[in-house]
Chains A and B, each alone.
Chain A
Amino acid sequence: MILQRFLIRLLTMAITLLGVSVVVFVIIRVAPGNPIAMMLPPGATDADIERLKALYGLDKSILQQYGIWLSGVLQGDFGTSISLRQDVLGLVLNRLPATLELSIVALLIALLIGGPLAVIGAREQGTGIEAGIDVANGAALSIPDFLWGLALILLFGVLWPIFEISGRVSPRLDLPFATQFYLFESILRLRFDLTKDLISHMFMPALALALPLAAIISQLLKLSLKEVMTLDYVVLARVKGFSETQVILREALKNAALPALTLIGVQFTFLIGGTVIIERLFSYEGLGNMAIDAVINRDLPLIQGIVLVFALLFVTINLIVDMTYALLNPRLRHG
């Protein structure tokens, strides 16, 4: 049952990715003006254009071009970046860890803010505290990450400058890292001086990304908790003399978390989508920042590679969430 579900999901995932690759390909190729004009700096000669056309296979038909590109991608060859003159896959893999670290830290912050607020809201049902949490959630939800980022820059970058407002790490530091996962590696190597510097750069962009998600977690989990708290076994625990907080943490939370999980998974992909502009805002050297540069430089192979990696990330997260849900939900496990 679960295996079958997994295989069907894997198939839809492949179709979605194929769809994404077609859409990107079509958008770039049917753009007014030929793609070579997009690639070359102004003032290029006709010979340059022809040479470049042959080099990138653009003298063939769109269908052939797509076939060549796709077969390359399937073998791990994403082509060569035009503006950076390097292997696209290498460039993307080099930047991806920075974006992943930022997204994971943001998710942790969102859970740390949203989780406790949900528990407090469920415990203080019908009081002014719950109403206050609802208003805060509403505000955090209506304001997008871009505006939170700007507000944070003013607050913690200018008014009370305790965090860095641009970059990923202070440029003067010597980095002993073997991977691009600077934050995780600095913790593993016990180089907490570097961890502190990295966090000081990462905190504001991560918080900006986290705030809308924190509101969603707090709202969904609270609703789910309230529902579970009327069930017999929770009432029984209360009768046994557990305090309300104990009842929530020990009994209600594990059953309330599951329904909230699916929606939080989808929202996490929105958070990752938000890294594109947030990285730009904080000059954080991740995949999103590189993507904007790629678009501005009209670097077609790089744009295609980055979009595909983002799409792969999104569908993988959805798959993981879906499978976790299926594995943890007894009704689906035995169904």
Chain B
Amino acid sequence: MAEPRAVTRRGDARLWLAGGWLLLALLAAIFAPLIAPQDPLAQDLMFERLPPFWMQGSEPGFWLGTDSLGRDLLSRLIYGGRVAFIVAFAAASAACLVGSALGLIAGYFGGWPDRIVSRIVDVWMAFPPVLFAILLVAVFGTGLTSVIIAIAIIDWTRFCRVIRAEAMSQARMDYVENARIAGFGRIGIMLREVLPNVAPAIVALLSLEMGIAVIVEAILSFVNLSISTDDPTWGGIIAEGRLSIHQAWWILVFPLITLFLTVLSFSQFGEGLKNRFDPVMR
């Protein structure tokens, strides 16, 4: 049985690497005031578009260089992580709660609850998600809460579709029938028997959704519709970098690498967790 163990070890390495990056980025965001070498909002036109530390013309203390207003890039990335992680946790949890609940009800009960939920999901799937997000934020007004609510409103269907299918297949299993014969009520069975069995799928999706939320927030701040324009966000830095791409490539490169690592880590972390908790995979 060398195969499965090798798979597990590879899965563990993936889990540790992804978890390690996320923990590092999260701690940096939480302790931003202690870690950030500069004030992320301080402009200094003497220091505009300084290159990163290994290049000629860099200044000590500005490790990754500065943007077109002379603001320190590393400090802005660290502070931008705050918005990214708040949106990731809050929006993904809200989407998860709504989507999983509706999916569980639709999949387990079937019948008309299922028909109503499925019809709503169909309507939601006919919207281009990015346009939907931009529209909602425009309507709610910019701000952290709007962004979180918009993402939750759009992405609950991701949970709903998967959990509905999972709950549906669980509902047909013998153990559900046995529980019913043993005298448990329908809602009791759903929460105590079916829910724990679909939980690994929920956990994996939740982690994946956090990555998606980070991207959507970046897209919204890229089109200048996220939070106030003064506060540093990864998408805002990217928008700035896209504009000065021919003068200062580093303004785009560093937030891009940060986003790549974060999104990749969230999805790998979710996969890793799922494999670890899934009894069949184990």
Using a CB–CB cutoff of 8 Å, the interface residues on chain A facing chain B are 12, 15-17, 19-20, 23-24, 27-28, 31-32, 139, 141-144, 146-147, 150-151, 153-154, 157-158, 165, 269, 272-277, 280-281, 288, 291-292, 295-296, 298, 303, 306-307, 310-311, 314-315
| B119, B139, B267: the one within 8 Å of A19 (CB) | B119
Q: Is B74 engaged at the interface, CB distance under 8 Å to the other chain?
A: no
Using Cβ atoms and an 8 Å threshold, which residues of chain B touch A20?
123, 126-127
Separation in Å of the B239 CB from the closest CB of chain A?
10
Contact B125 A288 (CB under 8 A): no
Q: Is B218 engaged at the interface, CB distance under 8 Å to the other chain?
A: yes
Contact A28 B256 (CB under 8 A): no
The answer for the CA separation of A151 and B259 in the assembled complex, in Å, is 11
Q: Which of A143, A144, A151, A296 has the most CB of B within 10 A?
A: A144
| A31, A165, A272, A280: the one within 8 Å of B128 (CB) | A272
Using Cβ atoms and an 8 Å threshold, which residues of chain A touch B140?
31-32
A276 touching B131 in the complex, CB below 8 Å, given contacts A19-B119, A142-B267, A143-B260: yes
Q: Is B245 engaged at the interface, CB distance under 8 Å to the other chain?
A: yes
Contact A292 B223 (CB under 8 A): yes
Q: Is B130 engaged at the interface, CB distance under 8 Å to the other chain?
A: yes
Contact with A along B233-254 (1 / 0, CB 8 A): 0000010001001100100110
Number of interface residues of B (CB under 8 A): 40
Q: Is B190 engaged at the interface, CB distance under 8 Å to the other chain?
A: no
Using Cβ atoms and an 8 Å threshold, which residues of chain A touch B27?
none
Using Cβ atoms and an 8 Å threshold, which residues of chain A touch B264?
139, 142-143
Using Cβ atoms and an 8 Å threshold, which residues of chain B touch A23?
123, 127
Q: Is B141 engaged at the interface, CB distance under 8 Å to the other chain?
A: yes
Q: Is B215 engaged at the interface, CB distance under 8 Å to the other chain?
A: yes
Separation in Å of the A30 CB from the closest CB of chain B?
9
| A147, A157, A281: the one within 8 Å of B263 (CB) | A147
| B126, B134, B218, B225: the one within 8 Å of A146 (CB) | B218
The answer for the CA separation of A19 and B130 in the assembled complex, in Å, is 19
| A272, A295, A314: the one within 8 Å of B138 (CB) | A295
Using Cβ atoms and an 8 Å threshold, which residues of chain B touch A272?
128
Among residues of A, the one whose C-beta sits closest to the C-beta of B235 is: A146
Contact A281 B242 (CB under 8 A): yes
The answer for the CA separation of A20 and B131 in the assembled complex, in Å, is 13
